[in-house]
């Protein structure tokens, strides 16, 4: 009963969805203000979601129906589990188990996997292009992202339990407040931008080139699930970064930190043009990976 | 729940723009709607790239033999319920194309158009008014 409540209501599905949608509204409103517009009212993401639930869900002829409809659910399920695990480990460190960091990293791979599956199952050439771009982008940002997490692991003395990492940071100060910590945070900020699929890394969904990429053939409930996944990610990923690098969620500074990260993402999104996929790959592998290696070396010297 | 859904549809009509061989005047005026001056995102209106995501089709231009099947196909690809909004005088009637060999007649004959917005091109204010009228029918 308690576990069902955790998964469905409090840190799980409902809470994450509502907070994520409110953050999506913050994104749209700040974007509008940057454009010198007024922007949508606060209930806009909720209106979008309920409208999509009411719409017809079309399945293109000849698509594998099961995979086509499974793909949107993957991300929502993964995000719910991540939310419950993150909050449990922050507020009840004894619930943490060895290797939960690795479980979270794998669960974070599910939303892009859902996009790739859905895009490939859509039987649309533009969706296929989008899916292949998403795949390339995933391999591009995952390497520096893992290196950045490795910095945190090294700094905490080889901990792969998130509870222990948070306890370490509460004892000795956040990982961010060191040279290697700053490098790790910067790299994971870019990785977060790419994971969210926001400009400059919205290559997979590039509206002006391939319409909506993997989402092209989705409508109704399935599209609502994709939008919901994105909204939940917009809340969970900053939480994840705060947990790993910035002292955990169990402090009164957690909410300002979260808002700061969200606003950083929005500003990055609004001040940059879209990269090409090869440029993104070069940016992550040639630009950020050496940077991450420097960070790892610094972390070994405990800087 | 049902009320909530209809409210949702009223509050967030996503728009797909079907340019059926128009002279581009109406299309440019449609793009005016998303500029800071008119900012239709205030009402939740977003221009989307795929008819699968759309709740309203903005059709422009006079229908001809080549564009009719394509417009019908886009209409079929749009998940229902969806609105069809005819923008510009060309959608209301056939006007100066009256004796053309190629023109297949006004939109009303082929598609269930919810609202026609006359003008060559219509002003952005007129388009906002027309969309509001189409939504208030729901």
Burial of B45 (C-beta count, 10 Å sphere; 0-12/13-18/19+): buried
Residues A150, A191: contact at Cβ < 8 Å?
no
Q: Do B52 and A219 make contact, defined as CB atoms within 8 angstroms? A: yes
- State the average pLDDT for chain A: 87
Residues A104, A240: contact at Cβ < 8 Å?
yes
Instruction: State the smallest CA–CA distance between residue A47 and chain B in angstroms.
Output: 4
Within its chain, how far is the Cα of B95 from the centroid? Answer: 19
Q: Which of A198, A259, A261, A260 is nearest to A230 (CA)?
A: A198
Q: Do A41 and B42 make contact, defined as CB atoms within 8 angstroms? A: yes
* pLDDT at residue B5 tops 70: no
Band of pLDDT at residue B2, cut at 50, 70 and 90: low
By Cβ distance, the residue of B6, B42, B52 closest to A216 is B52
Report the distance separating Cα B51 and Cα A46, nearest Å: 21
Give the 3-state secondary structure of A16-50.
Answer: HHHHHHHHHHHHHHHHHHHCCCCCCCCCHHHHHHH
pLDDT at site A178: 85
Residues A17, A231: contact at Cβ < 8 Å?
yes
By Cβ distance, the residue of A40, A50, A220 closest to B41 is A40
Residues B91, B60: contact at Cβ < 8 Å?
yes
Range A254-258 average pLDDT: 88
3-state DSSP assignment of residue B20: coil
pLDDT at site A23: 92
pLDDT at site B4: 67
Chain B residues inside the 8 Å CB shell of A58: 52, 77, 79
Band of pLDDT at residue B1, cut at 50, 70 and 90: low
Range A202-214 average pLDDT: 81
Evaluate whether the domain defined by B6-136 bears CATH number 3.40.50.12280.
yes
Q: Do A40 and B55 make contact, defined as CB atoms within 8 angstroms? A: no
By Cβ distance, the residue of A37, A46, A219 closest to B79 is A219
Q: What is the dihedral of CA B50, B51, B53, B56, to 10 degrees?
A: 130
Measured between CA atoms, the residue of chain A closest to residue B77 is A58
- Could you say which DSSP state residue A159 is in? -
Size of interface A-B (CB pairs under 8 A): 87
Helix pair A100-108, A125-155: axis angle to 10 deg: 160
Report the distance separating Cα B39 and Cα A209, nearest Å: 23
Residues of B with CB under 8 A from a CB of A: 4-9, 11-12, 14, 36, 39, 41-44, 48-50, 52-53, 55, 77, 79-81
Report the distance separating Cα A181 and Cα A185, nearest Å: 6
The residue ranges of every structural domain in chain A are 2-300
Other residues' Cβ atoms within 10 Å of the Cβ of residue A269: 19
Residues A39, B46: contact at Cβ < 8 Å?
no
Instruction: State the smallest CA–CA distance between residue A266 and chain B in angstroms.
Output: 17
The residue ranges of every structural domain in chain B are 6-136
Report the distance separating Cα A183 and Cα A290, nearest Å: 11
pTM: 0.89
ipTM: 0.84
Report the distance separating Cα A120 and Cα A125, nearest Å: 9
| A216-254 residue pLDDT tens | 888 888 999 999 999 999 999 999 999 888 887 878 888
| A94-153 residue pLDDT tens | 777 888 888 989 999 999 998 899 888 888 888 889 899 989 999 899 999 999 999 888
Name the residue with tokens 């979008």: A48
* pLDDT at residue A290 tops 80: yes
Q: Which of B5, B91, B30, B21 is nearest to A47 (CA)?
A: B5
Residues A54, B9: contact at Cβ < 8 Å?
yes
Q: Do B50 and A216 make contact, defined as CB atoms within 8 angstroms? A: yes
Chain A residues inside the 8 Å CB shell of B9: 51, 54
- Exposed e or buried b per residue across A207-242, where buried means at least 16 C-beta atoms within 10 angstroms of its C-beta: eeebbbbbbbbbbbbbbbbbbbbbbbbbbbbbbbbb
The residue with greater pLDDT, A250 or A48, is A48
CA distances to A19, A125, A149, A246, A259 from A265, rounded to whole Å, are 16, 30, 19, 16, 10
Report the distance separating Cα A155 and Cα B57, nearest Å: 55
pLDDT at site A22: 92
Of A97-111, A187-201, B2-16, B35-49, the range with the lowest mean pLDDT is: B2-16
pLDDT at site A24: 92
Q: Is the dihedral of CA A245, A248, A252, A255 positive or negative?
A: positive
């Amino acid at each position: 009963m308690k576990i069902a409540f955790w998964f469905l209501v409090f840190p799980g599905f409902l809470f994450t969805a509502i907070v994520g949608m409110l953050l999506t509204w913050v994104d749209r409103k700040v974007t509008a203000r940057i454009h010198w517009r007024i922007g949508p009212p606060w209930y806009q993401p909720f209106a979008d979601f309920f409208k999509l639930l009411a719409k017809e869900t079309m399945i293109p002829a000849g698509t594998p129906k099961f995979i086509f409809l499974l793909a949107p659910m993957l991300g929502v399920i993964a995000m719910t589990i991540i939310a419950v695990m993150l909050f449990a480990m922050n507020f009840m460190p004894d619930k943490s188990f060895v290797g939960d960091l690795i479980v979270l990293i794998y669960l974070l791979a599910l939303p892009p996997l859902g996009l790739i599956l859905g895009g490939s199952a859509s039987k649309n050439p533009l969706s296929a292009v989008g899916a292949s771009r998403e795949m390339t982008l995933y391999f591009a940002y995952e390497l520096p992202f893992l290196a950045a997490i490795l910095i945190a692991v090294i700094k905490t003395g080889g901990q792969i339990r998130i509870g222990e990492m948070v306890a370490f940071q509460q004892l000795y100060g956040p990982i961010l407040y060191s040279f290697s910590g700053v490098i790790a945070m910067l790299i994971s900020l870019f990785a977060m931008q790419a994971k969210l699929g926001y400009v400059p890394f919205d290559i997979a969904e590039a509206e002006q080139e391939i319409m909506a990429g993997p989402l092209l053939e989705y409508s109704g409930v399935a599209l609502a699930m994709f939008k919901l996944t994105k909204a939940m990610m917009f809340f969970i990923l900053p939480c994840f970064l705060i947990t790993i690098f910035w002292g955990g969620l169990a402090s009164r500074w957690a909410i300002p930190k979260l808002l700061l990260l969200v606003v950083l993402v929005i500003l990055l999104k609004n001040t940059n043009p879209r990269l090409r996929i090869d440029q993104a790959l070069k940016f992550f592998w040639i630009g950020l990976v050496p940077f991450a290696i420097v960070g790892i070396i610094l972390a070994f010297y405990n800087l | 729940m049902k009320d909530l859904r209809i409210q949702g549809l009223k509050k967030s009509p996503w728009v797909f723009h079907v340019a059926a061989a128009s002279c581009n005047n109406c299309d440019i005026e449609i793009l005016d709607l998303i500029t800071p001056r008119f900012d239709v995102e205030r009402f939740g209106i977003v221009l989307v790239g795929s008819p699968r995501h759309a709740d309203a089709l903005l059709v422009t231009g006079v229908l001809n033999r080549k564009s009719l099947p394509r417009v019908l196909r886009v209409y079929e690809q749009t998940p229902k319920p969806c609105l069809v909004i005819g923008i510009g005088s060309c959608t209301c009637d056939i006007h100066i194309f009256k004796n053309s060999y190629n023109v297949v007649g006004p939109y009303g004959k082929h598609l269930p158009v919810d609202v026609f917005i006359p003008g060559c091109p219509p002003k952005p204010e007129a388009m906002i008014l027309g969309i509001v009228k189409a939504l208030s029918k729901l």
